[in-house]
Structures are given as C-alpha cells and as structure tokens.
Structure 1
Amino acid sequence: MSLFRRRDRGGEPATRLYYASDIHGSEVLWRKFLNAAAAYKAEVLVMGGDVTGKVVVPLVEGPAGFHVELFGQSQDVAFDDVEEMEHRIRSNGMYPHRMTSEEVARVATLEEDAKEEWFADVMRETFDGWLALADERLDDDTRCFVMPGNDDPAGVDRSIEEAAKVEACDDRVVEFADYTMISLGYANPTPFDSPRELSEDELYRRVSALADQVESMDRCIFNLHVPPYDSSLDTAPALTDDLEVVMSGSAPKMIAVGSTAVRDVIERYQPLLSLHGHVHESPGATNIGRTLCINPGSDYHTGRISACLINLRDGTVRHQFVTG
C-alpha cells in the first residue's frame, strides 16, 4: 500500500515514518504496529508511550483446568483450551497469569509496593515476548523506537534497553535519515497519579535540555507523550476528585488537559514536527507557529490501531491518518 509518492523529481528521497501511541497492553495492536513497516513501507516506526496494560487476570489452576474471571463472568477452562483463553486476554490489553490458589492468596496479602513490583514482573514477561516478536518481524533496515508513557511501570525501560531490534529513545536525542528526534514519555500531573508524572517546570527543563542539543530545528522531531495545552489535541472530559466525569447538560464537560510546558517549548524552539499521544479522545493535527503537531488518538479497546503516516522530505512534512 502506498499513500505517498516515494520520490519527486530531484531532491532527496522521502523518509516514511509511522507513529502510534497508547496501545495499553493490546498484543493485537502491537502486532499491527510491527506489521506497519511492511504494510506502509515505513523505514521508521515510533511508539509514543503507554504500551503496557493495567490488569493481571489470574488463571487459577485446578484438577480439571483453570478457573478465570473475565469481564465480570466466572468460567472454567480446560487445559487444552487455556492457550486460546490467554490469547483472548492479551488481545484485550490484559495479562493472563497461571497461578495456584495459594499464590493468589499470597499476592492478595502483599503491601501495595510489593504488589506493584509483582505486577511489573508479570507485565515484563509479556512485554519481553513482544520485543522478541519485534526481533522476528523487523528487518535490519527498519528503525523502531519505543518509549514508555506516563502509565508504564519502571520495568519497561529495562526491557527496551535490552531489546535487539527495538531502540530506546526516552529522554534522549536520536538520529535517522538526517533528522533528529528528541523524546520524553512523562506527562504533567493527572488525576490518576500515574507512574511517570512531572511538574510543568520539570517537564520544561527536561525537554529544553534535550532541544538545546539539536543543531537544526528545521529537521527536528519532538516525540513528547503529552500534547501541548489548549491545542485541540488535548481535549478530554473534566473529572471530579472522585474521578467521576463532570457533565454539562447531557454531555461530558470537555477541557484542555495538556501540558503548558510542552506548548511553551514548541513555541520557543519551533521544530519541524511534534508527535503526541496520551489524550485518546483528541485525534487531529494543528500548527503552533511553523510546527505541525499531531495526535492520532487511540481506540485501543476496539482492536484498531490509530496512527499517522508521515513523509519527511527536504525538511518538509506531509501526513495522513491511518487506522488498521
């Protein structure tokens, strides 16, 4: 499938980049992300954060199989059918974990920090399998950058660093095809107290420290998980202190939830392109000064991956939103 011409008359060939974010543990979407390199003939893949899920589903072993509670329903699964059930759980962004009833009882009594550590270990087992799949699927000419987002636990970093075909980019400067990309997976404070949040002042300091290392903003890409404040890419329902949606009449009250620091650094440095995720409800593209800012949004729970296909050529950028 080719949505852009690869080369116009004269000038440099285009570099094609495929960007997606916020797949939240869906193995189906991870496979689609990897397949995008061949499907769209993209030389560069960028996953912009929030790659892991948030729920472990115990498969409790018994004499005749496993007992599982999924989507509010209890069911028994025969030994021969357990792999199919595990696939179903992973496809919905959750982590199946075979356990004895004694282990379930032990985990239930753990202190909160120990429980989080146990979850991170279970998550990493699955995530390491994802990275091994990338080793199988990606050819040597494809650059694949992955960073954690605000919802991702600490173990994700270590796995990415140890991967063969996937490259870490969080909080660093990377280069490809005469373009420079700076990345940061942290968000400004959220109502959910997620693992990777920073004050606006610290966000500004981190991003500007990276941007100061870039020689030319004409060929620079900002890969920042959180979108700029009040940009139309950051509109989400307002929440109460109890995390209930605030209603305005019969519809949710929508507010800007992006980062003022991210907006400030974009306005100051004016990179060629700025890529964002984090706010699922606000897909779109907008310009802040000369910078094209993009958020493809996320419908991860539907099994469809929302992404943006980007052509970079001669310091210019063209984009097209794609869903698969």
Structure 2
Amino acid sequence: MNSPAKVPVKVDGRALTLSNLDKVLYPEFGFTKAEVIDYYSRVAPVLLPHLKGRPLTVKRFPNGVDGQSFFEKNAPDHTPDWVRRVKLPVPGSTKNREAIDFAVIEDLPTLVYYANLAALELHVPQWRVDEDGEALPPDTLVFDLDPGPPATIVECCRVALMLRDVLAADGLTALPKTSGNKGMQLYADWDCREEPSAYAKRLARLLEKEHPTQVVSVMARKARPGKVFIDWSQNNPAKTTVAPYSLRARELPTVSTPLRWTEVEGCERPEELVFTAADVLARVEKRGDLFGRA
C-alpha cells in the first residue's frame, strides 16, 4: 500500500508536513525519501555541530539522483519562519544579486525540513556567522583531494598522509574524511595565521614539487591523469565543501564519512572507503564523531 502523499508530523515541537515518503530517490539501491529523512534524523547529533553557524548551500534532487538537480543558496519566501536565515553579501553573484538570505541548519526540525525537500547534499563554507548574522573569520582549513583516473581514493590516501605530516610540522592537526564521491578531504582547525587559500596553495605546490609523479596543484584536466589534485581553492570564502555526514547523489546513498587515520594508512582498494548511510549510522554508534572538532 502506498503511503499518504502528505503526512503531518511534529519534530521537537515544530509542525512539518512530509510528502511523497515512498518516492525512490536512489533507484539503483531502492532508497526512498523516507529513508533519507530517517538517515538525517538519526545522524543529526553528530551532523548538526558541523552545520551550526554555517550558511547553507543545498543540492536538491526532487526526482531522485537520476533526475534533474539544482543548487539552492537563497532560502525561498515559503521557508518556515522558524528556520534561521542570515542575509550575506554575494559579490560577483551569477544572478546579479547583492545579497542572499541563506538558511542555517542548527536544529533537527530544520534538518528534517530540508531532507523532505530532497536536499540530499549539504554544503557549507569554512567560516561561520555570529549570533547577529555577521560573517566571522574562517575557522577551518580544507584540502580537497581529487584523483585523476586511473588514480583512485587509494592514491588520495597516500597524498593525505604526506599532507598530514606537512600540516603537523606547522602545528596543525588534520582530520580525514571521504568526499562520498571519488576522493577525500582533509580538515584542520584554522587560527588565521595568514590568508587560508594562500597557505593551502603553498602547501599544495610544495608537495607537487616534492612528489611530481603523484601530486598536481593546478586544476587543468590535462595535468591530472594518474595524479591527485590538491584543490587548495576550497578555502576561498565564496566556496563550499560537502559537510561531514552529508549524503551524496551517487548510485548508492554514499556519505561523506569521517575516517580514522589507520583506515587511511591501510587502504588498498577503493571499495574499502565506500560507506552508505547504514554503514555510517553503525560507525557513529560504535565510534561516535570521528570529526569531533566542531
């Protein structure tokens, strides 16, 4: 029997209407919208701290991962008034807007609201806003490691270990996670010792110079086959990175998954670091938040 088209619920005292819960959003896996909402609800205790204070960009898939998708930064007028919004300047906006009303996910009702919109992917910048909605200096340094085929996440792991050591020499502790796609990311708490993109670029170029057959620091596709691109530009304040514990719109409901360094050190096959929503919930129950830095 099909579920009702609309289901009124209360989440922590907030009234929500969930819709089309039996719609399959991951056809190859048979993963429904109800399961997306269930995943985000159950992972919320470890996810919400990483979203707190960070202006949200979502990637929505109303007809599933095989259908059309779109990024959404601006919180539409019909967004519930209890969802936190912050108006921030967006210089150089492709839609010629001077400012955007960004949503900020800080509680379970807001997270469920967006899950019900089929906002499968949650992307956030490396900075937060304060209680008044003013942008704060960046608090996170991120390196996005993108393998150029035939390289895989296995090669990304080797580069991640190099990067970990370089960061440690500068007094920074790196934490690894999968992107939930092909590659991975390294995060470190940032103390604003200098402009983060400049610092990250310098480290990427250093590793490219020391390991020219493994590392590339430029985006040009022709330079990347068989190497790992260290994308330092993710530290630009206008850019976002997929949040820890966010789903990804792949064939399977994979998740951007925090890792232990022993998993990075021991990785020999790409499939070792593929984690679905169910895998991640089991990991969190066993290990807690491996990204417990927020």
- Greater strand fraction, Structure 1 or Structure 2: 1
Structure with max Cα Rg = 1
**TM-score normalized by the length of structure 1:** 0.27
**TM-score normalized by the length of structure 2:** 0.28
